[in-house]
Amino acid sequence: MYSSRRFGYSDDPWFRIGGFAVSTTAFVVGLGVVSMIIWGIEGRYGPIFKHLVLVSRDFSFGSVLEGEIWRLVTWPVPNEPDFWTIILFAIFYMLGSQLEMLLGRIRFAWFLILLTIIPALMVTGLEAIAGITGGVGGLRLVEVGVLVAFAAQYSHARFWPGIPGWVIAVVIVGLDVLQALSDRDEYALILLACTVAVALLGIRAFGYATNLTWIPKLSLASSSGQSSARDRPSRSRRRSRRGDHLRAVPVRDESVTPEMDALLDQVASQGLDSLTRKQRKQLEAHARRLRRRR
């Protein structure tokens, strides 16, 4: 049976808490909520969070260049408890859930990791070379990257009150650029530029945002689990022969008609945006049938 991940849907959570399925997006938002509670208890730059944020060496509590390399990954964790942080989490959850459904939970998790590590590495390298200083913490920049990727893929999606998604993304990124320029904060400006670049290159590398032909398409998709239908069953058979704990997947599902097979191939090669409204409905009906069988 063909996996529903092949055409972008992912119903499998990482784990469940009671009846609640914890996806990649839900896990990140949940971690953010917990971080607000910890922030409230220990205060700004308390004994925990001062070791997680990404800062340059001119701060008094360590940096990546002083050997604390975990900061390259942990800097989005500390989130200040206020109303705007809650709004940020809500937007991240709405947009992130859509991208996770498109990419699948594993590839979306890798996308978030790239949005976290690559800008941090870039700004740390420039600190070592050019001596720029600054610091960053919280999910804000990662959310900007998710927004940019969402707008790149769903450029004509409408936000309230009918504003196209790409306009929202341009306005928010533009405001952040102006804020960094007014503060003369080159550290924040470099982080923002790297985040936008990673978001656009990443969504293109996964085989989406096909209308943005001016963005180079890297070969990331082939190495991150996007493969043809022919080699998926063979991998399943190899897993079965190795005797691991994964359930063997039958080679073929009789319910997959030639027409549906063609639709799946079209989405795998051209993305969801290539489908007509009728084709999307057929695809969604097929996904519902797969979920019921589970």
CATH number for the domain harbouring residue 214: 1.20.1540.10
Comparing C-alpha atoms, which of 98, 182, 95 is closest to residue 143?
95
pTM over 0.75: no
Range of the structural domain that residue 120 is part of: 7-220
If asked whether residues 161 and 238 sit together in one domain, one would say no
If asked whether residues 138 and 83 sit together in one domain, one would say yes
For residues 9 and 108, the answer to whether their CB atoms sit within 8 Å is no
If asked whether residues 162 and 87 sit together in one domain, one would say yes
| CA–CA gap between residue 111 and residue 198 (Å, rounded) | 9
pLDDT (tens digit per residue) in 97-123: 999 999 988 999 999 999 999 999 999
Higher pLDDT, 94 or 159: 94
Look at 108-122, 191-205, 211-225 and tell me which has the smallest mean pLDDT. Answer: 211-225
Higher pLDDT, 277 or 134: 134
* Domain finish residue from 171, 203, 220: 220
If asked whether residues 185 and 63 sit together in one domain, one would say yes
Look at 111-115, 193-197, 255-259 and tell me which has the smallest mean pLDDT. Answer: 255-259
Please compute the mean of the pLDDT values over residues 61-75 and round it to a whole number.
Answer: 93
Note the pLDDT of residue 8.
43
Question: Is residue 175, in this structure, part of any structural domain at all?
Answer: yes
Note the pLDDT of residue 215.
87
If asked whether residues 76 and 105 sit together in one domain, one would say yes
pLDDT (tens digit per residue) in 76-88: 999 999 999 999 9
Question: Is residue 252, in this structure, part of any structural domain at all?
Answer: yes
| CA–CA gap between residue 198 and residue 221 (Å, rounded) | 14
| CA–CA gap between residue 141 and residue 134 (Å, rounded) | 15
If asked whether residues 75 and 204 sit together in one domain, one would say yes
If asked whether residues 214 and 231 sit together in one domain, one would say no
* Domain finish residue from 205, 220, 235: 220
pLDDT (tens digit per residue) in 124-150: 999 999 989 999 999 999 999 999 999
Instruction: Look at the chain and report how many structural domains it folds into.
Output: 2
Phi, psi for residue 38 in degrees, rounded to 5: -65, -40
Question: Is residue 2, in this structure, part of any structural domain at all?
Answer: no
Give the bridge partners for 55, in sequence order.
Answer: 135
* Domain finish residue from 220, 254, 285: 220
pLDDT (tens digit per residue) in 13-38: 777 788 778 899 999 999 999 999 99
Q: Is the peptide bond before 119 cis (omega within 30 degrees of 0)?
A: no
- Mean pLDDT, the chain, rounded, equals 81
If asked whether residues 196 and 258 sit together in one domain, one would say no
Comparing C-alpha atoms, which of 110, 114, 132, 112 is closest to residue 65?
132
If asked whether residues 129 and 214 sit together in one domain, one would say yes
